[in-house]
Amino acid sequence: MSRPLAFLAACFLTTVLAVPAGATRNSIGRVRPGHLSLKDGNFFCNPHDCAIALKPGQQLAPWQDSEKIFVLQEGGKTLRYYFYSTDIVKIPAYSGKPIGILIGLSPAGIIDYTKLISMDEPILLAGIPASKLVDAVVSYQGKDIRDKIRIGKPASGYISIDMITGATVTSLVTNETVLSSSRKVAVRVGILERQASVAKAQLSKAFEPKTWDQLVEMGAIAQLTIYPQQMGLPNSKTPWLDMYFADLVQPTIGQNILGKSVYDWLMGTLEPTESALMVVGNGTWQGGFKGSAFVRGGIYDRFRIEQGMNTFTFRDVDYDPLYSIAAKGAPQFAQSGVFIVTSPLYDRTQPWTMQVLGSRLTGKTAVSKLYHTFSATYQFPPSLFTAPKVVAGTATPGEPGEFSILEQVWVDHEIAIVWYITLWLFVITLFIFRRRMARNERRLEWIRIGVFVASILTIGVFHRGQPSVVNIFTLVDVIRERESYRIFFMDPFLAVGWIMIALTTAVWGRSLFCGWICPFGALQELLYKIRTKLTPLHKPYGPKVETLRRLRIIRFFIFISLFIVSLFSMKMAELLAEVEPFKTTWNIGIFDRPAEYGIYLVALLMIGIFIYRFFCRYLCPLGAALALVSFFPPKPIPRRNSCVVCKKCRRECEPQAINDKGQINAAECMGCFNCIHLMDDKTQCPPLISAKWWKKFNEKPV
């Protein structure tokens, strides 16, 4: 690796390790939409968000003291139920964040009010007009929640909703957000009756000895760790709060933690619908997860659990002391306790979330505080369930029995996905047998052109699945924030593409993707080839070769700069990543974007006609990212000893990936196989022309 690139790599790693995880979190339009609430007996809500005007005689009040559902009434008659979608379901969209929609549901089950409140979709923030999503949300008005509604092409028994062109995942998530939240509320308020197609899962009553570490590893005990820097305090390796929690009802968990006698006693005190939770913790947080409010008001205000639309808090009467933990290897904890969930709405077989409200004094006044909410999900491991029995019946719309978003996306594109995978496998086969394929130069040229055309049409024009450097930033953000990886499978072409990129880059470096599969790279090379056929040049256009080689460093600066920005603001990184012209070329189109984007694209293509793959070699941040892991591929292109003095391949290499010593720089190679062809050409390779070269350099077959 050259000295400048080594310096850049060091800066890159230093930045990744130095920035705290908390610094990566972005707030969307509204992180958590404010509730419809009451103030002085009157409706109170941000008019810009809600835009609901109460007529004389109408009243808006919480439904049965719910914090998430509000009912609009007039003269004692219910007119509509209002709720925010993100208070009911949190379905991650393409950005990894949910789409917030204010929904009004009539007592008849008709969606008669919808308004987009918040979204963080990159394709809509910097590309497709956001009004497209606003209109898509409005299109659900008048739809019956009992109907089967789907996005895209019509199907028998379904009502079709138009898809937002270029924003497939956003369209599908919007559809599930509206329907799932509406149906859940409808079940809650009694508009719909739940008809389960599968019997409720049952917990196993079997006991199996387990140590503390084994229980944690299998997921029977969940952990939530918060560090001081996540609360805006100085960095420290000592957790601010290190909490462990578990439902103790199942014998393998409860009996190992409590011991058999204490477990049997505790289970004997519980009602059939009640559960007992172990909550323990250490850390530097003064008062820990218990705090001190329960002493004054009887309520533990620093933590609660949420399950679906229900929130469960704990009072002092729900607490039992936990003096010791029987499981082998259990740490010592400064705070511990057993908390009883008494509400019949709690379903121990379903996942729930532990919510911790962290607080610290700001120092501005004696009582001013800063608050942050942290959460972790708990669910019994599958091994602790008995197999559920299938029950005859029909599932409620939106319940089991319909395709999920993920399934629908993949099923709708199954033929195209098979074709895309076939394209990748074909190119991988070429690389495996590249020595043999490179012998026939004309055949190789036509195969390469065919792959370029297939890539442009399949990935670019028809399915708009061009990988982008933004995908890398999103992956890093998900890892740092410990969010769901489900988002990466929402776009089948990006999912397949990145799996293949990871596998092939690990073996051959960036050359397989950048040199063959990338649709924008393919477009540039085709235009360059057409120009060379029409106007062949004795000398290439542009600066000297050495100057161009020095300019390669630009793309590494672009990538590292974008990466650093993404650690602090994904929105800004997505906007700056417009240095990639992929949205203008494929996702949105040159005629649907502002003029400056089109001018930039045309300029890149025009320069690329005269300078081989200009964007790929000097500006592409994605290429730079892949180049950083391509310097020493396990399967490099074979070389001869005489390549040190023979300059034939170096002169013929269009990406200028061969240095003066005959060494191939895998970070620059485009995998054209031209050097392999020359090495086996008996009319051009000196060792094959003259036996003297073979003996002089002690050549061996490669």
620-666 pLDDT, tens per residue?
Answer: 999 999 999 887 777 778 777 777 777 788 888 888 888 877 888 88
Longest CA pairwise span in the chain (Å): 105
Place of tokens 């810009």: 48
Burial label for 14, CB within 10 Å (0-12, 13-18, 19+), is exposed
Take residue 53 and report the two structure tokens written for it. Answer: 């005007």
Reading phi first (left if > 0) and then psi (alpha if -120 to 50, else beta), residue 452 is in alpha
Contact partners, residue 654, CB within 8 Å, separation at least 6: 612, 613, 670, 672, 674
Question: With the CA atoms of 525, 527, 531 and 532 taken in that order, what torsion angle do they form, in degrees rounded to the nearest 10?
Answer: 20
SS3 700: coil
Report which DSSP code applies to 147: S
> pTM (2 decimals)?
0.58
Q: Measured between alpha carbons, how far is 688 from 643 in angstroms, rounded to an integer?
A: 12
| Per-residue pLDDT tens over the stretch 14-67 | 344 344 333 333 322 232 333 333 333 333 344 334 545 667 778 888 888 677
The count of C-alpha atoms lying within 13 angstroms of the C-alpha of 206, restricted to the half-sphere facing its C-beta, is: 8
Alpha helix segments (H runs only) across 569-655? 570-576, 582, 595-610, 614-618, 621-628, 648-652
Burial label for 96, CB within 10 Å (0-12, 13-18, 19+), is buried
pLDDT at residue 541 in the model: 60
- What is the number of H-type helices and E-type strands within the chain? 29, 21
| pLDDT less than 50: residues of the chain | 1, 3-49, 51, 195-199, 297, 389-402
pLDDT at residue 392 in the model: 42
Reading phi first (left if > 0) and then psi (alpha if -120 to 50, else beta), residue 42 is in beta
48 φ/ψ angles, rounded to the nearest 5 degrees: -65, -35
Place of tokens 């080839």: 529
Q: Measured between alpha carbons, how far is 130 from 251 in angstroms, rounded to an integer?
A: 52
Contact 35, 102 (CB under 8 A): no
Report strand pairing: 385-386 vs 202-203. Answer: antiparallel
Contact 266, 247 (CB under 8 A): no
pLDDT at residue 550 in the model: 83
Contact 455, 423 (CB under 8 A): yes
Burial label for 554, CB within 10 Å (0-12, 13-18, 19+), is middle
pLDDT at residue 48 in the model: 39
Q: Measured between alpha carbons, how far is 277 from 300 in angstroms, rounded to an integer?
A: 14
Contact 435, 676 (CB under 8 A): yes
Take residue 1 and report the two structure tokens written for it. Answer: 């690796």
Contact 543, 614 (CB under 8 A): no
Query: ∠578-584-585 over CA atoms, to 5°?
Result: 120
Q: What's the one-letter identity of residue 48?
A: H
Contact partners, residue 434, CB within 8 Å, separation at least 6: 637, 673, 676
